[in-house]
């Protein structure tokens, strides 16, 4: 029986992980609202597994109004408490408050004529950095670029944006392509 295509080993635990790896992770995304959604998801991932967040993503979307920053920015404690009781929700009040704070910060950013997408894509001049790691090589948890992005985002008022979260965000949005060279999704294999 023939083996399937080679993929990054981290995704092989679960079909949902494989689908995320094949269809989303490392695919360039610049849409402002999708960038914000990824930031929200990364907020919920802090201290948890990404697979858990993927399994709960539809519940998070429902409880957090589709990650609509204008709606979230208007939330008070009542809405935060209601969201925490929603089915399938990751029940961490500080993370929900962080998402609300980040929504308010995003609106402030827009009022200043700035875009979150531009900030996230700025470390490499708006281009994807394609790394050439091989199977067995560890991915770094953060990089100097993610540390710089973290400082910039914190300075603007965003929360839950440490260097590790920023690097994960950069990987998810395709700012950094960290598919291993042998992976079917590495740019050198996609033609």
Residue 73 maps to a domain: yes
Residue 64 maps to a domain: yes
Residue 148 maps to a domain: yes
Residue 101 maps to a domain: yes
CA distance linking residue 182 with residue 136, whole number of Å: 11
Annotated binding site for Zn(2+): 8, 21, 179, 183
Residue 50 maps to a domain: yes
Is the pLDDT at 2 greater than 50? The verdict is no
Burial of 170 (0-12, 13-18, 19+ CB in 10 A): buried
Active-site position among 50, 75, 121, 167? 50
Is the pLDDT at 76 greater than 60? The verdict is yes
CA distance linking residue 159 with residue 79, whole number of Å: 19
The pLDDT confidence band at residue 27, using thresholds 50, 70 and 90, is very high
Is 50 a known active-site residue?
yes
Query: Tell me, what's the pLDDT at 4?
Result: 78
Is the pLDDT at 1 greater than 50? The verdict is no
Q: How many domains does the structure of the chain reveal?
A: 1
Residue 125 maps to a domain: yes
Query: Tell me, what's the pLDDT at 191?
Result: 60
Is the pLDDT at 118 greater than 90? The verdict is yes
Q: What is the mean pLDDT of the chain?
A: 95
Query: Tell me, what's the pLDDT at 13?
Result: 84
Interhelix angle 144-156/93-111, nearest 10 degrees: 80
Furthest C-alpha separation in the chain: 58
**CATH number of the structural domain spanning residue 79:** 1.10.340.30
Residue 3 maps to a domain: no
pLDDT higher for 188 or 162? 162
Mean pLDDT of 114-129: 97
Is 20 a known active-site residue?
yes
Is the pLDDT at 120 greater than 50? The verdict is yes
Structural domain of 81: 9-190
Query: Tell me, what's the pLDDT at 112?
Result: 97
Q: Hey, what long-range contacts does 104-108 have (CB within 8 A, 24 or more apart)?
A: 104/73, 104/157, 105/156, 105/157, 105/158, 105/159, 106/36, 106/69, 106/73, 107/69, 107/70, 107/73, 108/156, 108/157
Active-site position among 20, 25, 75, 167? 20
Active-site position among 37, 42, 121, 167? 42
Mean pLDDT of 59-76: 98
Query: Tell me, what's the pLDDT at 189?
Result: 82
Residue 1 maps to a domain: no
CA distance linking residue 39 with residue 166, whole number of Å: 9
Annotated binding site: 8, 21, 179, 183
The structure's pTM equals 0.94
């Amino acid at each position: 029986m023939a083996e399937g295509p080679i993929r990054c080993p981290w995704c092989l635990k679960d079909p949902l992980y494989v689908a995320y790896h094949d269809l989303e992770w490392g695919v360039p995304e610049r849409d402002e609202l999708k960038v914000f959604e990824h930031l929200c998801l990364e907020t919920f991932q802090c201290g948890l597994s990404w697979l858990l967040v993927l399994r709960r993503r539809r519940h998070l979307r429902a409880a957090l109004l589709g990650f609509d920053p204008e709606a979230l920015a208007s939330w008070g404690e009542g809405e935060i408490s209601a969201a925490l009781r929603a089915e399938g929700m990751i029940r961490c009040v500080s993370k929900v408050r962080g998402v609300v704070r980040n929504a308010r910060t995003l609106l402030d950013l827009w009022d200043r004529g700035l875009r979150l997408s531009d900030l996230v894509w700025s470390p490499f001049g708006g281009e994807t950095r394609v790394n050439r790691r091989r199977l067995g090589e560890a991915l770094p948890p953060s990089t100097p670029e993610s540390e710089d992005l973290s400082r910039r985002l914190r300075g603007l008022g965003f929360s839950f944006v440490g260097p590790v979260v920023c690097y994960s965000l950069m990987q998810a949005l395709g700012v950094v392509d960290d598919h291993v060279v042998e992976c079917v999704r590495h740019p050198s294999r996609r033609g």
